[in-house]
Amino acid sequence: MRRYVARRVAALAATLLFVSALVFVVVRVLPGDPAAIIMGTEGSPEALARLRESLGLNRPLPVQYAEWVGGALRGDLGRSIQYDVPVGSLIVSRLPVTLPLALLAAVFMAAAALPLGIYAATHHRRAGDYLAMVVSQVGISVPQFWSGLLLILLFSVHLGWVSAGGFEGWASGPGPALRSLLLPAVALGLFQAAVLVRATRSAVLDVLREDYVRTARAKGLSERRVVGVHTVRNALIPVVTVAGLQLGQLMAGAIVLESVFALPGLGRLALGAISARDLPVVQGVTLFVASSIVLINFAVDLLYVVLDPRIRLD
Amino acid sequence: MARQRPLRHVTFTLGLAITAALLVVAALSLVYTPVDPLAMSMTARLEGPTGDHPFGTDQFGRDILSRVMTGAVTSIAVGVIAVSIGAGLGVLLGLSSGYAGGWLDETLMRLVDAVQGFPAILSALLFTAVFSPGMVVSMVAIGLAFVPAFARLARGSVLELREREFVVAARALGGGDGRLLLRHILPNSLPPLIVQATTSFPVAILAEAALAYLGLGTQPPYPSWGLMLKEAQNFLSLNPWFAVFPGGAIALTVLGLNLLGDGLRDLLDPKTA
């Protein structure tokens, strides 16, 4: 086990190095002169030269890359051009929107998908199963931002129960903040729940066909115990894997939903930085989100081994 | 068990019908739309569905039905090219990785892991920061997001097929690496790759719409369903239908393609049916 973990950690380090290299290549190498992008067409040659100097663009690319990665490891992602504050602190200031949104969506996803998936599997090829499959098929066809718009149309335009967007912050207690995150979280979680329903159903169906489930039934256990104790616990292993991988998707989806509901999170930070040509911020946010997704995938990989002792590690 | 006839398979047939309808609408829009999709009318702005405009009109009085029809072309074009990019790059990476083995395999797979950290939205953010937003950015960003899945599938088939007798025999007969890969290994790994391409297509259409909605993808004046929804959001209380039809078009298209993909998987791989 220890050797396996050590190997996985080495692979993780290599993967993160590639992530940073990809971001660096797109932002610093592909455009030729990043300073010209930041300045636009208005900059004088002298101003351009000064900006190049202050961003360290005059040095060889490998040196620039090494310095940028070294800084990132210490939490220093450079300074925002637009706000003139460290990119790292900008990212941290937006996390209280993006993270709770993704987590709330994950809770909604699990709460909707697991019972429905288990129900569908235990009612295989009956009306309830077909209904659950139709619902999930429709769910994975609806774009998240469109369900967001439809929720606004229903709850804000028609019923007037909530405002159509904006975020009141956590300062006045969790109530108002959660209220502004509720609709976007539902829109975000709905799509992923539809995916998870199908994964849960097929995992439970697989286990229901196992010999030990037949044995459990044969020794006269109630169907409740057969499903609750013998089936669901074993089926959870692949389900947890799928759900874990979906957390990364939720991070990416949060970027879209923040735009629909005008929430000041990481996605809006990056979109604003693009129109302001604030390259260090775009670079920092993409590095942060991509690394988080890779780390989540890594954690899921390890969790899988912990949950399932049957997995041979070599 | 007898092989199921494709048209008896409800999911497959329904998916095929919706997809065929989509293709017909897209093809038709190239030669005919009820109204010119770019023609504005200041007297007929933000109308609900009427006889003249069955889907209503937008903020410039343009006919939403005609615009939804032409939007299908954008979705299909971006989808096809994005999936081709993802499949092309992914299969190339996967084949070389699995065939070479050793440190090259290890390195390429870590690169694939890294690419997995970039969902289409994230790559599009990154590209738009340095290039101007547009359909090309959409296609490349979405295509890159598909690379890991294709690469893993292709690598898996190479590992499985590399030591099979017909491949070993071809090698013993003096077949070079390129010939072994392209003539013997690739054709035998096609069915799962075809299923993957089919299931990626609706994902690409969803991603294109999301990118256009965020302003990172397709730009005006090209009609795109995502772009229409972005515009519709400002007029939700004045004309809710404006947001309903383009979104409905996306959902129906994706539903059709998903059903087609599911059906195809059942038919090509009886084990999972």
Rounded to whole angstroms, the maximal C-alpha distance in chain B is: 77
Residue written as tokens 């002298």? A46
- B207 shares contact with chain A (CB less than 8 Å): no
pTM of the predicted model, to two decimals?
0.89
- State the Cα–Cα distance between residues A21 and A28, nearest whole angstrom: 10
Best of A28, A39, A140, A274 to mutate (most B CBs within 10 Å, chain B): A274
Residue type, B159: L
Q: How far is B16 from chain A (nearest CA, A)?
A: 15
Cβ neighbours of residue B8 under 8 Å, at least 6 residues apart?
Answer: none
Percent of chain B clearing pLDDT 70 (strictly above): 96
Give the Cβ contact number of residue A197 at 10 Å.
Answer: 28
Give the pLDDT confidence score for residue B273 in this predicted structure: 41
pLDDT in tens, B44-62: 778 778 877 888 888 888 8
Q: CB–CB of B114 and A18 under 8 A?
A: yes
Residue ranges of the alpha helices (H) in B9-101?
Answer: 10-31, 64-100
- A299 shares contact with chain B (CB less than 8 Å): no
pLDDT tens string, chain A, 314 residues long: the values are 788 888 889 999 999 999 999 999 998 887 777 787 787 777 788 888 888 887 778 888 899 899 999 999 998 998 898 898 999 999 999 999 999 999 999 999 999 999 999 999 999 889 989 999 999 999 999 999 999 999 998 988 888 887 777 787 888 888 888 888 999 999 999 999 999 999 999 899 988 888 888 898 888 888 888 888 888 888 888 888 888 888 888 998 999 999 999 999 999 999 999 888 888 999 999 999 999 999 998 988 888 777 777 765 54
How far, rounded to the nearest angstrom, does the alpha carbon of residue B28 sit from its chain's CA centroid?
Answer: 21
Least Cα distance to B74 among B26, B31, B125 occurs for: B26
How far, rounded to the nearest angstrom, does the alpha carbon of residue B76 sit from its chain's CA centroid?
Answer: 7
Contacts of A260 in chain B (CB under 8 A): 233
The chain B residue lying nearest A254, using CA atoms, is: B121
- State the Cα–Cα distance between residues B47 and B44, nearest whole angstrom: 6
Provide the b/e sequence for A78-107 (b: ≥16 CB within 10 Å). Answer: bbbbbbeebbbebbeebeebbebbbebbbe
Residues paired with residue A79 on neighbouring β-strands, in sequence order: A86
Cβ neighbours of residue A251 under 8 Å, at least 6 residues apart?
Answer: A98, A102, A289, A292, A293, A296
Give the pLDDT confidence score for residue B49 in this predicted structure: 85
Q: CB–CB of B110 and A19 under 8 A?
A: no
Burial of residue B107, with CB atoms counted within 10 A of its CB: 0-12 exposed, 13-18 middle, 19 or more buried: middle
- B128 shares contact with chain A (CB less than 8 Å): yes
A32 Ramachandran zone, left/alpha/beta (phi>0; psi -120 to 50)? left
Which tokens go with B176?
Answer: 């070079």
Q: How far is B230 from chain A (nearest CA, A)?
A: 9
Q: CB–CB of A153 and B236 under 8 A?
A: yes
Q: CB–CB of B130 and A26 under 8 A?
A: yes
Contacts of B10 in chain A (CB under 8 A): none
- A152 shares contact with chain B (CB less than 8 Å): yes
On average, the pLDDT of chain B sits at 88
B63 Ramachandran zone, left/alpha/beta (phi>0; psi -120 to 50)? beta
Task: Give me the mean pLDDT over the B254-260 stretch.
Answer: 94
Best of A19, A87, A146, A255 to mutate (most B CBs within 10 Å, chain B): A146
- B233 shares contact with chain A (CB less than 8 Å): yes
- State the Cα–Cα distance between residues B133 and A85, nearest whole angstrom: 27
The chain A residue lying nearest B212, using CA atoms, is: A256
Give the pLDDT confidence score for residue A312 in this predicted structure: 57
Task: Give me the mean pLDDT over the B234-246 stretch.
Answer: 87
Least Cα distance to B162 among B171, B150, B153, B151 occurs for: B171
Q: CB–CB of B255 and A285 under 8 A?
A: no
- State the Cα–Cα distance between residues A99 and A97, nearest whole angstrom: 6
- State the Cα–Cα distance between residues B116 and B119, nearest whole angstrom: 7
Q: How far is A216 from chain B (nearest CA, A)?
A: 25
Residue ranges of the alpha helices (H) in chain A?
Answer: 2-24, 34-39, 45-55, 61-73, 87-122, 127-139, 144-151, 174-208, 211-218, 223-225, 232-260, 266-275, 279-307
pLDDT in tens, B155-187: 998 888 888 888 888 888 888 888 888 888 888
Cβ neighbours of residue A2 under 8 Å, at least 6 residues apart?
Answer: none
- Whether B81 shows a pLDDT value over 90: the answer reads yes
Q: Which contacts (CB < 8 Å, 24+ apart) does range B228-236 have?
A: B228/B58, B228/B64, B228/B67, B228/B68, B228/B71, B229/A145, B229/A146, B229/A149, B231/B58, B231/B59, B232/A149, B232/B58, B233/A149, B233/A260, B234/B59, B235/B46, B235/B58, B235/B59, B236/A149, B236/A152, B236/A153, B236/A157, B236/A164
- B258 shares contact with chain A (CB less than 8 Å): yes
- State the Cα–Cα distance between residues B123 and A65, nearest whole angstrom: 19
Per DSSP, A85 falls in state S
Give me the total of CB pairs closer than 8 Å, taking one residue from chain A and one from chain B.
Answer: 149
Task: Give me the mean pLDDT over the B105-120 stretch.
Answer: 93
Interface of A with B in 27-46 (CB under 8 A): 27, 30-31, 34, 37
Cis check for the bond before B221: say yes or no (omega within 30 of 0). Answer: yes
Look at B191 and B91; give whichever has higher pLDDT: B91
Can you say whether the dihedral through the CA atoms of A262, A263, A267, A272 is positive or negative?
A: positive
B189 near B154, Cβ under 8 Å?
yes
Interface of B with A in 85-114 (CB under 8 A): 107, 110-111, 113-114
Give the pLDDT confidence score for residue A119 in this predicted structure: 93
A268 near B214, Cβ under 8 Å?
no
